Structure 1
Amino acid sequence: MSPNALIPSHRKPRRPSASSRALRAGVTGGFLTLAVTGATVPANAAEKPVSETQEMPTITTALATSAARSADTAEQVAFNYERQALQDSAFSHAAKAAEKHKAEAVKKAKAEAKKKAEEARKAKEAAEARASRSSERSTLSAPSSSNATGSTATLVSFLKAQLGKAYVLGSSGPSSYDCSGLTQAAFSQIGIDLPRVSQDQSTQGTQVGLDNLQVGDILYWGSAGSAYHVGVYIGDGKFIGAQNSSTGIVERPLDYDMPTGAVRVL
């Protein structure tokens, strides 16, 4: 045994280097920090604060925060896109519905216009048909000028044949007449039926002025609709009528007893 075997050693124990401490600190904190040194750090060298070894966690937290913000931004962008898509879809549906309603309204308006046009066409055709039938009836019923001339000649001839016959109230021939009975009998010779009394005869046909008389016009005394006497104009300013019981049936000038008015039935 060496004589110094039991003598305690006076050498100081070797302190771990700074790189060793940094390595242990890094491992303990959950991160591996590699330090490259060119020489052994003296034992009495000051140790660096532990905060220098925590730089990596700080950077990692910043990156995580940035990633979280990026995720929020991406989510907001996706939400905006989805909302815009929903709005576009709603606008598209609304536009299609409006277009459909417009098309239906236009179709309905065209149908209504077509219906009204058809009704107007039918009404026009009906009016034209009525006018045509009325014209045909007028043509058939209206005598020609030659027929009118022949009718008035027959009428005047009959009236002159009655001159001198007696006036009898309420009589209509053939031997005696009153004023309206004579005119009724005269016009029946040419196919025209007149009412029996003077009041009704004064409203037949068309009212004419006394300055525009034609042969065959019925003259009346009193007012139209309430006349008390009638006669027949025979031309040249003269008329024939059953005047009264004293004179009987006579031919007289208009100024003998000027009538109130006249009607034309020929």
Structure 2
Amino acid sequence: MSPNALIPSHRKPRRPSASSRALRAGVTGGFLTLAVTGATVPANAAEKPVAETQEMPTITTALATSAAKSADTAEQVAFNYERQALQDSAFSKAAKAAEKHKAEAVKKAKAEAKKKAEEARKAKEAAQARASRSSERSTLSAPSSSTATGSTATLVSFLKAQLGKAYVLGSSGPSSYDCSGLTQAAFNQIGIDLPRVSQDQSTQGTQVGLDNLQVGDILYWGSAGSAYHVGVYVGDGNFIGAQNSSTGIVERPLNYDMPTGAVRVL
């Protein structure tokens, strides 16, 4: 026998291998219980067989992962809905603002167009009025195509002979005249009897336009029937009349004091 045969061994007993373990499973208190029991070991082993127990949640890792993914998805969907709602609100406000700006722009454009149309109308009327006055003055200032012959020559000759005489209100000559007294006296020279006052003389014969005057036409200032002054057209754009006490009887161009109208009695 070996001298060391009776000396106890100090080597630790070997644990059972994985192949010698048995797995028992059960559910206790809502947990999955795993019991691992080791195989039989020698009686003189330093350590007794042990039972290893581990409790794990019933929800597996796969289920937890799936639940987490579902939560993330729900959160993303909620975020998307919120973002879409904010975008829709912003678009709605922008559309309303754009609609308001458009209405204001249309209103402003219409007002500007109306203003420009009114300005253009006024400018056109002013231009037409200026052109009419210019044409009228040119016509009246131009030499008359009608020359004084016969009775008209006698009429003009008499009127020119009175130039320089005094103006006296109510006088009919021969040394002084007022306006209607001079025209009455002049037409008496050729056998035409005129009323005494300007108002009545302005309604005699036929009304004629100032752009179609002939020698011997009676000019009047004011309205027909209520004229306050008269004279006689003598051609070449001039008239003769007893103007006032300062000037007496004078010959003047028509644009010196443009008459209102004219009548023709010859």
Return the TM-score normalized by structure 2.
0.45
Are the equivalent residues in 1 in contact too, given 2:169–2:177 (CA < 8 A)?
Answer: yes
1:54-98 alpha-carbon deviations (Å, 9 max, x no partner) = 999999999999999999999999999999999999999999999
Are the equivalent residues in 1 in contact too, given 2:32–2:58 (CA < 8 A)?
Answer: no
Question: 1:112 offset after TM fit, Å?
Answer: 75
Between 1:73-82 and 1:99-108, the stretch displaced more is 73-82
Distance in 2 (CA, whole Å) between partners of 1:108 and 1:247 is 59
Between 1:29-38 and 1:232-241, the stretch displaced more is 29-38
Question: 1:7 offset after TM fit, Å?
Answer: 236
Distance in 1 (CA, whole Å) between partners of 2:62 and 2:182 is 135
Question: 1:29 offset after TM fit, Å?
Answer: 165
Distance in 1 (CA, whole Å) between partners of 2:74 and 2:29 is 33
Distance in 2 (CA, whole Å) between partners of 1:255 and 1:125 is 22
1:34 is paired with a residue of what secondary structure?
Answer: strand
Runs (4+) of structure 1 moved beyond 3 Å?
1-148
Q: Aligned in 2, Cα 1:115/1:198: closer, same or farther, shift over 3 Å? A: closer
Question: 1:116 offset after TM fit, Å?
Answer: 68
Q: Aligned in 2, Cα 1:194/1:98: closer, same or farther, shift over 3 Å? A: farther
Are the equivalent residues in 2 in contact too, given 1:22–1:33 (CA < 8 A)?
Answer: no
Q: Aligned in 2, Cα 1:155/1:56: closer, same or farther, shift over 3 Å? A: same
Are the equivalent residues in 2 in contact too, given 1:16–1:43 (CA < 8 A)?
Answer: no
Structure in which a larger fraction of residues adopt helix: 1
Q: Aligned in 2, Cα 1:238/1:122: closer, same or farther, shift over 3 Å? A: closer
Report the count of equivalent residues. 266
Between 1:82-91 and 1:191-200, the stretch displaced more is 82-91
Question: 1:18 offset after TM fit, Å?
Answer: 184
Question: 1:48 offset after TM fit, Å?
Answer: 186
Distance in 1 (CA, whole Å) between partners of 2:18 and 2:36 is 11
Identity of aligned residues (%): 97
1:231 aligns with 2:231: yes
Partner of 2:265: 265
Distance in 2 (CA, whole Å) between partners of 1:24 and 1:257 is 137
Distance in 2 (CA, whole Å) between partners of 1:67 and 1:239 is 116
Q: Aligned in 2, Cα 1:20/1:186: closer, same or farther, shift over 3 Å? A: same
Q: Aligned in 2, Cα 1:32/1:238: closer, same or farther, shift over 3 Å? A: closer
1:15-44 alpha-carbon deviations (Å, 9 max, x no partner) = 999999999999999999999999999999
Distance in 1 (CA, whole Å) between partners of 2:173 and 2:31 is 153
State the Cα RMSD in Å. Answer: 12.5
Question: 1:11 offset after TM fit, Å?
Answer: 218
Q: Aligned in 2, Cα 1:76/1:112: closer, same or farther, shift over 3 Å? A: same
Between 1:237-246 and 1:6-15, the stretch displaced more is 6-15
Are the equivalent residues in 2 in contact too, given 1:18–1:47 (CA < 8 A)?
Answer: no
Q: Aligned in 2, Cα 1:28/1:16: closer, same or farther, shift over 3 Å? A: farther
User: Larger Cα Rg: Structure 1 or Structure 2?
Assistant: 1
User: 5+ unaligned residues in a row in structure 1: which ranges?
Assistant: none
Question: 1:149 offset after TM fit, Å?
Answer: 2.5
Return the TM-score normalized by structure 1.
0.45
